[in-house]
């Protein structure tokens, strides 16, 4: 099983330099991958390209670019550039986005997200695999009057989706290479998410999907204090039905209930639970919750488990 971390250097004086420094530390600790979220700030594929080129020991990925407010031609260009820059170590994550951020940020309606995801994946697959597209859907058109291939990215780009609901899982199993579930505990993963996406892939003759489980957690002795801090940070996600649903399926009431916070024994046991539930990769986020010392302690343990 690959074990990685989500890197967040937004508190650094220079986010790019800070991300590279953190990536070097992650590689030294024995971690295998570094992932970057997409916000209205730094461009995640560019950040992954820079970090992946500077730290060749790591796989790098985006988790995840919303399909609203973007176009497959532009995302393909970003992804292929990152793939060429890292010599095949880039992984692209897509997301449905949320009504709140889509409509408040872009001023466009968040309508028919599953249909948009399907069309986006179909057009994007053509572009990343062949450098051409001739796609005319209900919501999107993507054609290539001039070539869209980036030399050096001929191997294509793995396409993953931050999918957790039934329709998104079906679309991901049929059209993507895997999923990036977040705040989905082992119970939700093993009983609902993995069976659904695997069945969809099998029905269309696709290979078994990758299950990259994003886990919010840290190794610490100050469990109560860190749990309270995590509860504040994660409360944002509780307003969205998709997250609320998967937290409930995981046996929790609040997002913090699926966070992994404790000593080395506790975290090791939880990583094993994710493995048993079908995760092919585990990526830890929030490892800076308890401060620098516990972040390094967490990365040391995860590096051992990755080895």
Show pLDDT as tens, one digit a residue, over the chain (307 residues).
689 999 999 999 999 999 999 999 999 999 999 999 999 999 999 999 999 999 999 999 999 999 999 999 999 999 999 999 999 999 999 999 999 899 999 999 999 999 999 999 999 999 999 999 999 999 999 999 999 999 999 889 999 999 999 999 999 999 999 999 999 999 999 999 999 999 999 999 999 999 999 999 999 999 999 999 999 999 999 999 999 999 999 999 999 999 999 999 999 999 999 999 999 999 999 999 999 999 999 999 999 999 8
Q: Are 150 and 83 in contact (CB under 8 A)?
A: yes
Q: What are the pLDDT digits (tens) for 197-233?
A: 999 999 999 999 999 999 999 999 999 999 999 999 9
Residue 229's closest CA among 280, 270, 288, 276?
288
Q: What are the pLDDT digits (tens) for 154-180?
A: 889 999 999 999 999 999 999 999 999
Q: Are 155 and 103 in contact (CB under 8 A)?
A: no
Q: What is the pLDDT of residue 274?
A: 98
Residues 6+ apart with CB under 8 A from 171: 114, 117, 118, 121, 161, 163, 200
- Exposure pattern of 32-57 as b/e (b: 16+ CB <10 Å)? bbbbbbbeeebebbbbbbbbbbbbee
Residues 6+ apart with CB under 8 A from 119: 135, 137, 138, 139, 140
In the DSSP assignment, the letter for residue 206 is: P
Domains of the chain listed by start with CATH number: 1-161 (3.20.20.30), 178-307 (3.20.20.30)
Kind and range of the H or E element at 223?
A: helix 223-234
* Helices 15-29, 292-306: inter-axial angle, 10-degree rounding: 50
Q: Taking CA 90 as the corner, what is the angle to CA 7 and CA 97, rounded to the nearest 5 degrees? A: 65
Residue 181's CB is within 10 A of a number of other CB atoms, namely: 25
Q: What is the pLDDT of residue 155?
A: 85
Where do the DSSP E strands lie in 96-190? 134-136, 141-143, 159-161, 178-179
Distance between CA atoms of 75 and 72, rounded to whole angstroms?
5
């Amino acid at each position: 099983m690959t074990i990685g971390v989500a890197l967040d250097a937004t508190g650094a004086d220079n986010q790019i330099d800070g991300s590279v420094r953190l990536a070097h530390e992650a590689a030294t600790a024995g971690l295998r991958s570094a992932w970057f979220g997409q916000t209205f700030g730094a461009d995640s594929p560019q950040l992954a390209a820079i970090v992946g080129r500077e730290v060749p020991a790591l796989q790098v990925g985006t988790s995840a670019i919303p399909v609203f407010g973007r176009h497959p031609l532009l995302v393909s260009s970003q992804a292929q550039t990152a793939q060429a820059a890292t010599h095949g170590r880039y992984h692209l994550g897509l997301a449905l986005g949320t009504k709140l951020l889509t409509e408040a940020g872009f001023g466009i309606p968040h309508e028919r997200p599953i249909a948009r995801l399907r069309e986006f994946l179909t057009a994007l697959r053509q572009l990343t695999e062949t450098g051409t597209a001739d796609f005319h859907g209900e919501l999107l058109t993507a054609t290539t009057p001039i070539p869209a291939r980036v030399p050096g990215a001929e191997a294509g780009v793995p396409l993953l989706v931050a999918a957790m609901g039934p329709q998104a899982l079906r679309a991901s199993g049929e059209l993507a290479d895997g999923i990036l579930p977040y705040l989905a505990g082992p119970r939700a993963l093993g009983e609902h998410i993995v069976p659904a996406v695997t069945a969809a892939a099998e029905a269309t003759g696709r290979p078994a999907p990758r299950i990259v489980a994003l886990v919010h957690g840290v190794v610490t002795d100050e469990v109560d204090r860190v749990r309270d801090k995590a509860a504040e940070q994660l409360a944002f996600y509780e307003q969205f039905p998709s997250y609320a649903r998967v937290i409930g399926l995981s046996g929790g009431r609040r997002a913090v209930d699926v966070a992994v916070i404790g000593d080395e024994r506790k975290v090791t046991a939880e990583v094993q639970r994710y493995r048993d539930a079908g995760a092919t990769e585990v990526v830890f986020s929030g490892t800076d919750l308890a401060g620098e010392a516990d972040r390094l302690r967490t990365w040391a343990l995860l590096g051992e488990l990755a080895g």
